[in-house]
Structure 1
């Protein structure tokens, strides 16, 4: 949600009112400003943020940057994939150019020379995680709903998130990547996508602290009343079922496991694009062996190009976000029907671990 203060937000160097900027003392503030679309990212928004961050990086009067989303629904639901689908179908526009610019921005946030504070209130998914999970202080709330749901739309978890998910405890990252499951704030912290859970009414006070030139440590913000992460208690079946590199075998283990949550995960994975799930698992395992986030961003861009050439992306976006019939007609009937060479072809231009 927007952190309301008497601050004058205005468009930045790239003229769009879909992302706004303000100075509050030494704090630079970014407000994503498409509340009706849960602040879904456009190329203009990405370009404007990139330009503004470059200015603030060189401005000694700016000591920190904070990111927030307009409206009550969330920080950011991701990239505007409906617009990307339309560009693919019409042949106008270049989705790869959007992904390139988006990943450059995410990488700039990861190496930003000043504290970058992400207020991850409400929905934070896909590209929204790319903007926030690379920050230096990542604050979730009791309202946060965090996910990389790309396998549901025939894509894969991008924006470098496989670098972080591959380094989550046990196989928790594998579970989240393959299912696209949504988690709350405590689980986001547990898997390494956030740093601390803060009650949403305390966000304005945090912004005021930042504007006063103070950057609290995560332990200073911690609340002992925050519930424990739910996924921590599921590690036994998750670690056992998700081991290995064969997505079809993982699915069968989940189906046969006595834990109800495992069988529920199996149903979810079986409903996702088989090609996307298989590519996601391979990409995750490769990300675990890649040395830097930049390597994973390069893998993401190579996979994005490959998904344009023959995948379920157009159909998945249609079923989930355009027609909303939730009845996608995937290229492959099941994970067992996805040929291994079809998966490996997607990585032909990707960095090799």
Structure 2
């Protein structure tokens, strides 16, 4: 096993068995990703992609609370006050890493256990496999800080069922547990107590193909029973979401919500207007 870390150990890059393993290692900060972490992950990802002895790549978060709560906004904000170029470079290199994950030639498996928001979504959703647990919490909350849903949000959100992605983008609504799978954001759902066992089984695979990996993930997914019969949290509201969020402009979506007038629609108006307040 080889291992590479920076001085602070904010990200661990390890070769284990047949896999390259990325561990976001800032549990006290919900594994928020820093510029330095991005600059370490990208070149290692490209090396593993070309390494004939690396058959898959796993990314996970340290601790039990979060996979990755997003980019380290404080770091970006402080850098922007002194050097605008630094904050621009952060986003450029973050998006370059997101693209590298999307185009990675090796199976890329994100274990999105715990909070997965913003930049954490960018590190996971573009990969081939995304494994949620009952403790997963997904959101794209960027509009609340006056930003758009970035890290590829403009690509993957509109491709969710109906107008769900537009709803998630504008409201920052949080999906939890099995609902992260039901929307297609996760490709598999595994009970959290089985997650470490799944990782061990992935690492123990011998020269696995994409199909071998998919079969193992499917086995764990099929055996997971938590919240199996619980209805989708937005099931009763999907008709309204599809109707109100079907407009081509935010202004028309707001008008649609006003005209609808239901308690659900009015609640979304409060959320959206709150997001745009200074």
Q: Does 1:219 align with 2:211?
A: no
Name which of 2, 5, 9 aligns with 1:17.
9
Deviation at 1:189, TM superposition (A): 2.3
Q: Give the secondary structure class of the aligned counterpart of 2:20.
A: strand
How is 1:106-145 mapped onto 2 (pairs within 5 angstroms)? 106-145=98-137
What CA deviation, in whole Å up to 9, does each residue of 1:325-347 have, x standing for no partner?
xxx6x2xxxxxxxxxxxxxxxxx
Q: Distance in 2 between matches of 1:243 and 1:147?
A: 20
How is 1:139-154 mapped onto 2 (pairs within 5 angstroms)? 139-154=131-146
Q: Give the secondary structure class of the aligned counterpart of 2:186.
A: coil
CA contact (8 A) 1:77 1:127 kept: yes
TM-score by length of 2: 0.89
Select the structure that is richer in strand.
Answer: 2
Q: Give the secondary structure class of the aligned counterpart of 1:119.
A: strand
For structure 1, the residue ranges without an aligned partner over 5 or more in a row are 1-6, 274-327, 331-353
Deviation at 1:92, TM superposition (A): 5.5
Q: Distance in 2 between matches of 1:32 and 1:112?
A: 19
Q: Give the secondary structure class of the aligned counterpart of 1:272.
A: helix
CA contact (8 A) 1:165 1:192 kept: no
Matching residue of 1:246: 249
Structure 1 window deviating more from structure 2 (137-146 vs 93-102): it is: 93-102
Q: Distance in 1 between matches of 2:18 and 2:196?
A: 16
Deviation at 1:262, TM superposition (A): 2.1
How is 1:94-243 mapped onto 2 (pairs within 5 angstroms)? 94-213=86-205, 215-217=213-215, 218-220=217-219, 221-222=221-222, 223-225=224-226, 226=228, 227-243=230-246
Deviation at 1:266, TM superposition (A): 1.3
Matching residue of 1:317: none
The total of aligned residue pairs comes to 267
Deviation at 1:149, TM superposition (A): 0.1
Q: Give the secondary structure class of the aligned counterpart of 1:215.
A: helix
Q: Give the secondary structure class of the aligned counterpart of 2:179.
A: helix
Matching residue of 1:91: 83
TM-score by length of 1: 0.71
Structure 1 window deviating more from structure 2 (150-159 vs 83-92): it is: 83-92
What CA deviation, in whole Å up to 9, does each residue of 1:218-255 have, x standing for no partner?
53223354233222332111011111123123123223
Deviation at 1:140, TM superposition (A): 0.6
CA contact (8 A) 1:209 1:215 kept: no
Deviation at 1:107, TM superposition (A): 0.9
For structure 2, the residue ranges without an aligned partner over 5 or more in a row are 206-211
Q: Distance in 1 between matches of 2:92 and 2:14?
A: 26
Deviation at 1:9, TM superposition (A): 5.3
Q: Distance in 1 between matches of 2:195 and 2:3?
A: 18
- The structure 1 segments of at least 4 consecutive aligned residues displaced by more than 6 Å after TM superposition are none
